[in-house]
Structure 1
Amino acid sequence: MDFLLGLVGADFVLVAADTAQIRSVVRMKSDLDKTMKLTDKTMMLLAGSVGACSNFGDLMAKNIKLNGIRNGYDHSPAECANFVRKSLADALRTREAYQVNLLLGGYDAHDGPELYYIDYFGAMAKVPFGAHGYGSFFTLATLDRHYKEGMNFEEAKDVMRKCIEEVRTRFIVNMPAFTVRVIDREGTHEVTL
């Protein structure tokens, strides 16, 4: 029942994830952080079983950090996305398959803001906006209608607000709280809508 949402603005990426941990018909937790910081300017949002998300997220964060230390620089969002995609694809062909869908967003000094949509099969696409989970059934039409390239921060927050309100109105599962973060040239920051 996870819901992840992200969109690219003029010089930032705005991402949101619900904070509920739901299993079957039981809400186990209401303050779960589904985001994982990979570098100072790259973050991924994970959807799937809590164990798979936690294990895979930690594995990716630690390996990307180790690779950055070995090579002496932080990886770009594109490099992180390709590493994550390959790791998912490789794991799919072993007994370690992770049932994890994710959005990976970041800011690169050369390429600007980037958002990647990656599913548990290891398929990846660079997108201007994306959503995972049942909430995407309700929000993709809203994003199609209201998203425009090069939006400023206030416009992006307004589109994000509309998407979250649509999920709260139409989806049968109550999603009262969301973690919203912005990734820009300064790094990652929490945002209130």
Structure 2
Amino acid sequence: MECVFGLVGKGFALVVADTSAVHSILLHKTNEDKIMVLDSHKLMGASGEAGDRAQFTEYIQKNVALYQFRNGIPLTTAAAANFTRGELATALRKNPYSVNILLAGYDKETGPSLYYIDYISTLHKVDKAAFGYGSYFSLSMMDRHYHSDMSLEEAVDLVDKCIIEIRSRLVIAPPNFVIKIVDQDGAREHAWRESIKDAPISAA
């Protein structure tokens, strides 16, 4: 019952993911961080098979770092998204990865951006997106409440609405979520949303 979703606001991009590591009917852990910091101004939220997710996101992270090391400048968010899409497309014809990705970043020239990349290497630049069973509810909430010039406070409030909806609607809902943002100050963790029984949803 994985849930990964994100949106672009006024001067920032935000990615949210559940933190459950699940195999079949077993829950292995509830503090799995599925949002990787690629570099100082990029985030990659991923869902899919645990092994594919960990291996592929680490592979992308190391190659983004290698490019910066070799050339002295970082990849733009668009370039990182196209590189990621290319690697998924290459793997699709050999040994495909079962992984879906939301890539968020901030560039000085273009500002914040969010890219949707699925397991068959479809790439789209979007304002909001979601993967997993939680997408049925998070997308409908974002369709209703999202607007392009949202402040960070409005975006976090919308995220809380999405999490509440996911928890109340899914039969087996993830107990915990992590929220990370990227803006001109860099990529960082913003908050951890623990289950309702452990902590109030409004706690940051």
TM-score range, shorter chain: over 0.9
Is the partner of 2:75 in helix, strand or coil? coil
CA positional deviation for 1:22: 1.1
Distance in 2 between residues matched to 1:190 and 1:181, nearest whole Å: 4
1:72-122 residue CA offsets vs partner (Å, 9 max, x unmatched): 11111111100000100110011x210100100010100100000110000
Q: Shift of the alpha carbon at 1:174?
A: 2.5
SS of the residue 1:191 aligns to: strand
2:181 corresponds in structure 1 to: 182
- Runs of at least 5 residues in structure 1 that lack an aligned partner in the other structure: none
Within 2, Cα distance between the matches of 1:189 and 1:36?
A: 10
Q: Look up the match of 1:43.
A: 43
In structure 1, the residue matched to 2:195 is: none
State percent identity of aligned pairs: 43
Aligned residue number for residue 84 of structure 2: 84
Q: Which residue of 2 aligns with 1:122?
A: 121
1:57 match? 57
Partner amino acid, structure 2, of 1:156: A
Give the Cα–Cα distance (whole angstroms) in 2 for the partners of residues 188 and 123 of structure 1.
25
- What is the CA-CA distance between 1:35 and the residue it aligns to? 1.2
What is the TM-score normalised by the length of structure 1? 0.97
Between the aligned partners of 2:122 and 2:111, the Cα distance in structure 1 is 22
What does residue range 12-23 of structure 1 map to in structure 2 within 5 Å?
12-23=12-23
- Counterparts of 1:27 and 1:119 in 2: how far apart (Å)? 24
Partner of 1:136: 135
Q: Provide the TM-score with structure 2 as the length reference.
A: 0.92
What's the secondary structure of 2:97's corresponding residue? Answer: coil
Q: CA RMSD in A?
A: 0.9
What does residue 164 of structure 2 align with?
165
Structure 2 unaligned blocks of 5 or more: 192-203
Deviant stretches of 4+, over 2 Å: none
Between the aligned partners of 1:18 and 1:166, the Cα distance in structure 2 is 14
Question: SS at 1:125's partner residue?
Answer: strand
